[in-house]
Amino acid sequence: MSDQRFISADAAPRLTSHLRALSLIAPLQRAEDNKGMLHVSAKTAERVDMRYLALAAIELLIDRMGAGGTAGRAELIEYLADLARLQSRNLSDPDATALAEHVFDGLTNARDRRARFKVRLFDPDQPEGVFFEFALLRAEPLPDGTVGYRLTQEAIEIHLSLLAHDPLTATQVSEIIVGEFLKRGLYDHAASAAERTRTNSIRLAEAIRLLMAEARRAILKVMWHEELGPKMEEARSLLDASIMREGAMLAQLSDTAADVTDETDRRHLSRIRTLLLDVQTRHRKLIVVVQKTADEYLHLQADTLKLRPLARLPDLENEILDPLLRAPANFLIENASGVFGAISGTLPPLVLDIAAAVAAFEPDVEEAGVFDPIIEFDDPTVGLELPFDEATITRAEQFARATILATGAITLGELLSRAASDRPDDAAFQRCLFLILEQAIDPRTTDVAGGASILSTRFDAGFVEGTDVRFSRATGGGVHASQ
């Protein structure tokens, strides 16, 4: 006997809501599958997507219902025929009309005399299955005697379920829906929404994993701060909000479970709690990944940028210069010439050709011709005027004289510091004082502590040595002493 494994009804997944969603879109797909049975040109009709026409009809009716109106059959047929011709330029008018009528008949279940669609869905809790009836379009008599068509709730549900959302947004929306169902006591609906939340959390984790995989494949082209950083920051913020929201719902479940006595509701609450705990655990792990991704990615990118192709020449710094710095001094002295030659290469011998050097600077007499040099002298250049007026010079001299006489001996740096402290905003005064003190170093100038300074005289301070100059009252010679 072969071993057989049996799955109990309690362990079977509850997918009735998923089957219901598939049943709603089945008429749209059936219109696409059966278009080959129409008496139209097969080649031109092949390019027409009947599912697009069915969704376009739903979209048109949503627009009409938003304005409080309806759409008649003739209007729908004409609109869908125009869209069919847009998809296939060679489609004839009769064929376009036939395709449009085929879509309309599929939406209204014309093959069953426009009755409601009826399907049987498997449900582990119902041995005989669950029968589901629905309609997509509903006819409504109008005051003018005509008939208008509206969408049913199931058709609007199709439109909403097919809207694409990014994983972050879908996760947030599904969690909010779970919370709203719990507040209203709709525990069966909350369980279905919690299953969608778990699916969206798995989708979100996979999306982030694929995003990082794409970035690692183009590690040198993708910049973190411009491309990945904003996405990861958004994911971190939304994951923080999700973890707090899930914690609040789990706390609400703990408070609610004690008051619920119905066995079915208690089973739904247990299922919701299990799903939310799974989602919260996944989100906690995911937010750690998001927070660590920035450092890991930047380190990976930095390591990749450091990679260099192998070169024929050695690395001078790491392979030659660094070992030489660690070598003994006697080795370097003996081999300095050879090491220098190995690093710099062979140099040609230096040859000094005096005749060639002189000839390079002498003009060619045959080409330039013989001429007598004419030497002219220009008028002497007028000396530059000092940028200080007499009042500024006088104030600077008086300040220097008074400070030197008061202190007896003071260095240049200390004297300038006092001037900067006394007159912090007078830049011209400080510059003038500095020039006076520098000229006082030259023996040709007068004693700065006794007589006037000669600012127009150029001084030569090359004979001064040390780091600063000390000024004092002259006792019979100069006015400076080096330190």
pLDDT digits (tens, 9 = 90+) for 269-306: 888 888 888 888 888 888 887 777 666 666 665 665 55
Average pLDDT, the chain: 77
Same domain for 209 and 118, yes or no, is no
Residues of the chain above pLDDT 70, percent = 72
Q: Is residue 333 part of a domain?
A: no
DSSP string, 391-405: HHHHHHHHHHHHHHH
Q: Is residue 2 part of a domain?
A: no
The H-or-E segment that residue 316 falls in is none
pLDDT digits (tens, 9 = 90+) for 228-261: 667 777 777 788 888 888 888 888 888 887 777 7
Task: Look at residue 213 and tell me whether its pLDDT is greater than 80.
Answer: no
**Beta-ladder partners of 120:** 131
Same domain for 33 and 149, yes or no, is yes
pLDDT digits (tens, 9 = 90+) for 319-358: 777 788 888 888 888 887 777 776 665 555 666 666 776 7
Q: Positive or negative, the Cα torsion across 354, 357, 358, 359?
A: positive
Residue type, 118: K
Same domain for 35 and 148, yes or no, is yes
* Sole residue written with tokens 């509701």: 265
**Beta-ladder partners of 117:** 134
Q: Is residue 221 part of a domain?
A: yes
pTM over 0.95: no
Same domain for 145 and 120, yes or no, is yes
Same domain for 403 and 298, yes or no, is no
* Sole residue written with tokens 């330039």: 368
Dihedral, 67, 73, 78, 79 alpha carbons, nearest 10: 40
Same domain for 141 and 186, yes or no, is no
Task: Look at residue 77 and tell me whether its pLDDT is greater than 90.
Answer: yes
Dihedral, 142, 145, 148, 152 alpha carbons, nearest 10: 60
Task: Look at residue 392 and tell me whether its pLDDT is greater than 80.
Answer: yes
Phi then psi dihedrals of residue 475, to 5 deg: -110, 0
Residue type, 273: R
Same domain for 399 and 447, yes or no, is yes
pLDDT digits (tens, 9 = 90+) for 403-428: 888 888 888 888 888 888 888 888 88
Phi then psi dihedrals of residue 98, to 5 deg: -65, -40
Residue type, 223: M
Domain boundary among 130, 161, 192: 161
Structure tokens of 475?
């006792």
**Does residue 346 sit in helix, strand or coil?**
coil
Same domain for 23 and 148, yes or no, is yes
Residue 421: count other Cβ atoms within 10 Å of its Cβ. 8
For the chain, counts of helices (H) and of strands (E) = 17, 7
Q: Is residue 407 part of a domain?
A: yes
Length of the chain: 483
Domain boundary among 256, 290, 306: 306
Most confident region among 32-36, 53-57, 320-324, 382-386 by mean pLDDT: 53-57
Same domain for 214 and 255, yes or no, is yes
Structure tokens of 273?
């709690």
Same domain for 121 and 252, yes or no, is no
DSSP string, 121-132: EEETTEEEEEEE
DSSP class of 144: T
| Mean pLDDT for the stretch of residues 442-458 | 59
Same domain for 101 and 209, yes or no, is no
The total domain count for the chain is: 3
- Residue of 177, 179, 159, 180 lying closest to 169 (CA atoms): 177
Q: Is residue 367 part of a domain?
A: no
Q: Is residue 363 part of a domain?
A: no
**Beta-ladder partners of 141:** 147
Domain with 152, as residue range(s), is 16-161
Domain boundary among 306, 335, 353: 306
**Does residue 123 sit in helix, strand or coil?**
strand
Higher pLDDT, 35 or 217: 35
Q: Is residue 152 part of a domain?
A: yes
**Burial class of residue 193 (count of CB atoms within 10 Å of its CB; 0-12, 13-18, 19+):** buried
Structure tokens of 303?
């390591």
DSSP string, 87-122: H-TT--HHHHHHHHHHHHHHHHTGGGTT--EEEEEE
**Does residue 481 sit in helix, strand or coil?**
strand
Q: Is residue 382 part of a domain?
A: no
pLDDT digits (tens, 9 = 90+) for 92-141: 899 999 999 999 999 999 888 888 999 998 888 787 888 889 999 988 88
Same domain for 276 and 173, yes or no, is yes
Residue 248 contacts residue 175 (beta carbons within 8 Å): no
DSSP class of 35: G
Structure tokens of 360?
């390079």
